[in-house]
Structure 1
Amino acid sequence: MKVKCPTCQQDVEWSQTSEFRPFCSKKCQLIDLGEWASEEKVIATKAEQADLSLLDPEEIEAMLSKQPDDFFKH
């Protein structure tokens, strides 16, 4: 099976013999690690996710009224 390297998007064979999977190389693996270490990449916590309960119902209605007529048909 082939997957895309998360760093450079090059095709990578996903198998037991792919030493750096899902990365294509040690270089791409280290680039990704550096991005996590410098906090360029993070996993959002529940506290960081938008809390829709804080929105005023009137604000929600105003936002929805700005959508095209076929917004809910998709």
Structure 2
Amino acid sequence: MTESVFFNPGDAIASSHDYKAARRSAQIFKANKPTAGQIIIAKNAKNGEYAIYLADRIAPSNQGVRHDIKDRL
């Protein structure tokens, strides 16, 4: 079962159409800012693009775009 959450696309740290590229970007960000908190790699339910967000940036459903969580770092 996929967990869905809502994010404001403007809060994305990075995005990519390729999951491996998104994961690599997330790992680089985590290595450069180890105190940044939990990072979520999520797939936009509308356009299929992967985006990287900080977990504390989850938005209320009426203010964000639905994303399916693919990985947490």
Task: State the TM bucket, normalised to the shorter chain.
Answer: under 0.3
TM-score calculated relative to the size of structure 2:
0.25
In proportion to residue count, which structure has more helix?
A: 1
TM-score calculated relative to the size of structure 1:
0.25
In proportion to residue count, which structure has more strand?
A: 2
Higher relative contact order (CA 8 A, sep 6+): 2
